[in-house]
A = this chain, B = another copy of it.
Amino acid sequence: MSAQRGRRIAGGDTRAEILVAARAMFGESGYTATTLRGVAHRAGVDPALILHHFGSKEVLFRNATHVSFDPAAIAAIIGSRDGGSPGERLCRYFLGLWEDGVTREPLLAMLRSALTHEAAAESLREFLSEALVGRVAMVLDTADAALRATLVGSQLIGLAMARYVLRIEPLASADPATVAAWIAPTLERYLTA
């Protein structure tokens, strides 16, 4: 029952389990409130092991929240011609990211930490500015493209906050399709006013 000293018998990918636990806890509590001890406990592991694998809490966080989003995908989605207007496509893509349990957790962690932890904020800012704004601006090709893209970002952040973080009803439990139907026109207007 009690933990044994030394290397475990092969089989489990402990490092990966630590990342899973870390993602969950960063997503629930944000960077500061998440403790190495808490993550370790959740992963069924000694706290020191986390530092052995990742050197510091900061690095752990980066590894846990490194959501492998594809910046090019966004441009493709907006630029493509399948399924409705660009606004609708972008909206569905965004909602899809949050509805999928796999991608939701790193996003939650990112967003929850962004308000407290400067590095996370920088990361999110970069993501929005570069990936979203940059790509959108390229596709749009108007003078105020940057502002337009930021407005799109603001609505998307607000949606994520209200629906997935604060869980305000009835938005939180509403059907994704319903939400998309309401939000998409807003995005569309921001993109092509």
Contacts and interface: CB of A to CB of B under 8 A. Distances in A.
A182 B190 contact: yes
Contacts of A174: 147
B154 A121 contact: no
Chain A at the B interface: mostly helix, strand, loop or mixed? helix
A32 to B, nearest CB: 5
A128 B163 CA distance: 13
A112 interface: yes
Contact of A112 (B115, B125, B156): B115
A24 interface: no
Given A158-B154, A182-B151, A166 B116 contact: no
A174 B133 CA distance: 15
Interface in A121-174: 121, 124-125, 128-129, 133, 146-147, 150-151, 153-159, 161-163, 165-171, 174
Contact of A166 (B121, B171, B185, B190): B121
B150 A171 contact: yes
A76 interface: no
Given A115-B116, A116-B116, A147-B182, A161 B158 contact: yes
Interface of A: 29-30, 32-33, 111-112, 114-116, 121, 124-125, 128-129, 133, 146-147, 150-151, 153-159, 161-163, 165-171, 174, 178, 182-183, 185-186, 189-190, 193
Given A111-B115, A157-B157, 16 more contacts: A30-B115, A32-B32, A32-B116, A112-B115, A124-B166, A125-B166, A128-B166, A150-B169, A153-B158, A153-B162, A154-B159, A154-B163, A154-B168, A154-B171, A157-B158, A158-B159
